[in-house]
Chain A
Amino acid sequence: MNESLEQLFVKQLKDNQNIIHKICRLYTSGEDAHKDLFQEITLQLWKAFPKFRGESKFSTWAYRVALNTAITLYRKSTRSISTVDYESKSYFISQEDYNTEEEEQLLLIYKAIHLLNDIEKALVFMYLEDKCYTEIAETLGISEVNTRVKMNRIKGKLKKILNP
């Protein structure tokens, strides 16, 4: 029983690992911190897995656990570094359609997001994942109105960072 639960979890996580990679990308800079956070999120997901009933999609369920881990349970000094170092540059850019100007722009946006605080990053993450305000509000435990207000503020903040 336990064995099959483990198999099921590992398979589901393997198929959905990009969600976690994406969260690590927003919350950390550098490969080591990325791996550390990925490890901790995986553990927290596994610990919580027996409570996952399959009512929602694995990915939806994983958002909450992963974001909460990134926001509250995980603290490493390395992650507070807000600049993106040179090495990790390649890591952020999709290689297919090569477009230097767009790449530069994306890099700047990531840099700006790294300057946001943990909750703001969570909002940005769910926005990028195309989640509706109802779901964002429910995950964070705040009202929908509050979520909209915060999201607008974040957009303002990012605009200010990007166009000083």
Chain B
Amino acid sequence: MKELDLLKKDWQKDTNFFEQLSESAIYKMIHKKSSSLVKWILIISLIEFVVLNGISLFINDENIDDFLIKHPYLDLINYVNYIVVISFIIVFYKKYRAITVLDSSKNLIQQIKATRQVVNYYILWNVLIGGFFGVFGIIDGFNNSFTKNNAVNTNIKYILIIIFVLLIMGIIWGFYKLLYGGLLNKLNKNYKELMKIDL
């Protein structure tokens, strides 16, 4: 192709055409912070974990204690949730380490794709666990506020439970979309563009 060869000729001769950076300018550059997306995913997940669990330590609500006494198995599930969330953070860390510019482009893209998947699973897990706890909370709420005198129709009760749980899950989903949405979008844009090429 003659156009590309014309460019190649020009390309190889204009070695000193760019404004040359001095050593001190390069020194300054290497002391700046990188803006790696995966690093941010890791940092945000850690902050989120610490803050959300920190809040629950400070809230000493008797209702919550009562709630957990009433449903002892939920406490167990709570611990399972801790383990799962910590595992996710470990995976984020591993991904952060695994994404290296020294890899071939294809491997790098696959790592990025995998990271995006993991974040999606993490969000899904949080939405589901939130919905799960929500069901118990709402059933309890119903039982407390509706006595036999003002009992509601069972069908309506179920419909309301479903609506409330979906609402809770929606709010949690929205929260995570807000938290990770920007980062995921960037990874996603990357990924879509790269998959078009079918490496």
Name A's B-contacting residues (CB within 8 A): 6, 9-11, 13-14, 17-18, 21-22, 38-40, 42-44, 46-48, 51, 64-65, 67-69, 71-73, 75, 94-95, 102, 105-106, 108-110, 112, 117-120, 122, 124, 127-130, 138-142, 155, 158-159, 162
Contact = CB atoms under 8 A, between A and B. Distances in A.
B4 interface: yes
A140 B106 contact: yes
Contacts of B36: 73
A48 B102 CA distance: 7
A140 B194 CA distance: 12
A72 B23 contact: no
Interface in B100-133: 100-109, 112
Given A6-B30, A46-B30, A106 B22 contact: no
B50 interface: no
Interface in B5-44: 6-8, 10-18, 20-23, 26-27, 29-30, 32, 34-37
24 contacts: A9-B30, A10-B26, A14-B21, A18-B18, A22-B11, A22-B18, A38-B21, A46-B29, A67-B105, A68-B105, A71-B194, A72-B108, A94-B17, A102-B10, A106-B6, A106-B7, A109-B3, A109-B7, A112-B3, A117-B193, A119-B197, A140-B104, A141-B106, A159-B1
Interface residues of B, number: 48
A119 B199 contact: yes
Nearest to A75: B186
A155 B5 CA distance: 11
A159 B4 CA distance: 9
Interface of B: 1, 3-4, 6-8, 10-18, 20-23, 26-27, 29-30, 32, 34-37, 99-109, 112, 186, 189-190, 193-194, 196-197, 199
Contact of B101 (A73, A119, A120, A122): A73
A14 B29 CA distance: 12
A158 B8 CA distance: 14
B40 to A, nearest CB: 12
